[in-house]
Amino acid sequence: MSEFDLIRRFFTRDTPHAILGVGDDAALLQASAGNVLAVSSDMLVCGTHFLPDADPFLLGHKTLAVNLSDMAAMGAAPRWAVLAIALPEADEAWLAQFSAGFFALAQQHDVELVGGDTTRGPLNLCVTIFGEVPAQQALRRSGAQVGDEIWVSGCLGDAALALAHLQGRIALSAAELAACLPALHRPQPRVALGLALRGIASSAIDISDGLLADLGHILEASQVGAQLDFAALPVSPVLNNCVSRTLARQCVLSGGDDYELCFTAPAVHHAELADIAARHNLPLTRIGKIVAGRGCIVHDASGNPLNVEACGYDHFR
């Protein structure tokens, strides 16, 4: 099977919302009237972001999901994607499952694959995604203001806990692992939430490298500080009952791979956020507040500052 046979068979679909999709030297795209393009890229490398024996269907899902999460954090509606993929070999069974997982999520969010590249090499998956958002409604990291509340969606830490089990750093029961693994292998990008937060959130980011690391990007861009209430952080029963409290704290604060949204909003929007949570059947939890100054302080249940050693994942540290 040639490179072009591979593309035609596994990665070519109709693209009715693109002027020109797969098959030429470049795709031709047109943003809708009144919108600007939001563009982001994420790379998944075998051995760094996923294990060599990862289920290809779930890997196809996650490859697109992490990019959709970036669109959610910008309040953008995802529209198109391009996929660059390096493959050790043209394994047809693997490709069939990977593309099935990728396109199942793409169809769910009305995203069209309009191009990309394939080559032989160590397994490496890179998506560039394009979305649309009204220019003045894009959610940015730089809008947090002193007095804003800090919120997160969903639960935190399960993906990191599942990874700790797979790496042998903790032993979960079969039931506990089954409860945590979907967060790691099949994250749910909060696209609908991102759209609902337009005009409400003052800043937003998706939690990919850990809550403290990613919130830190908001604080740096907005030139403000934060105070967090550790007891308020939303966690699952599995993580809440984790025998290693130190590991549990690390998973919640700095574990990463959550792909939930962390955002700030003025307190006047509290009722609106409760309504959004109910409409989308998605827990939204207020975990702290924006304060003057710099940095982030995490308080325990007694109001004492926690000593936090690691803030999140960094590829070069």
Beta-bridge mates of residue 50: 46
Residue 85, burial from CB neighbour count under 10 angstroms (0-12, 13-18, 19+): buried
pLDDT recorded at residue 315? 44
Domain with CATH 3.30.1330.10 in the chain: 3-137
Residue 44 burial (CB count, 10 A):
19
Rounded mean pLDDT, 65-88: 96
Which has the closest alpha carbon to 195: 96, 87, 79? 79
Options 3.40.50.360, 3.90.650.10, 3.90.1640.10, 3.30.1330.10; CATH for 149-299 is: 3.90.650.10
The answer, yes or no, to whether residue 119 has pLDDT greater than 60, is yes
Query: What span, in angstroms and rounded, lies between the C-alpha atoms of 262 and 211?
Result: 8
pLDDT recorded at residue 292? 96
- List, edge to edge, every strand of the sheet that includes 112-120: 35-45, 124-134, 77-87, 112-120
* Residue 300, CA distances (Å) to 227, 231, 304 in order: 11, 6, 5
Q: Grade residue 51 by pLDDT with cuts at 50, 70 and 90.
A: confident
Q: Which residue has the tokens 């955002």?
A: 263
Instruction: Dump pLDDT digits (tens) for 208-249.
Output: 999 999 999 999 999 999 999 999 999 999 998 876 888 989
**Bridge-based pairing state of the strands 225-229 and 284-291:** antiparallel
Query: For the whole model, what pTM was predicted?
Result: 0.92
Looking at domain 3-137, its CATH architecture is 2-Layer Sandwich (3.30)
Rounded mean pLDDT, 30-46: 92
The distance from CA 161 to its chain's CA centroid, rounded to whole angstroms, is: 17
Query: What span, in angstroms and rounded, lies between the C-alpha atoms of 295 and 315?
Result: 22
**Which of 200-209, 233-242, 299-308: highest mean pLDDT?**
200-209
The answer, yes or no, to whether residue 71 has pLDDT greater than 90, is yes
Domain with CATH 3.90.650.10 in the chain: 149-299
The answer, yes or no, to whether residue 118 has pLDDT greater than 60, is yes
Rounded mean pLDDT, 70-76: 97
3-state DSSP assignment of residue 229: strand
- DSSP class of residue 50 equals B
Instruction: Dump pLDDT digits (tens) for 144-192.
Output: 999 999 999 999 999 999 999 999 999 999 999 999 999 999 999 999 9
Instruction: Dump pLDDT digits (tens) for 273-290.
Output: 999 999 999 999 999 999
Contact in structure between 52 and 122 (CB atoms under 8 Å) = no
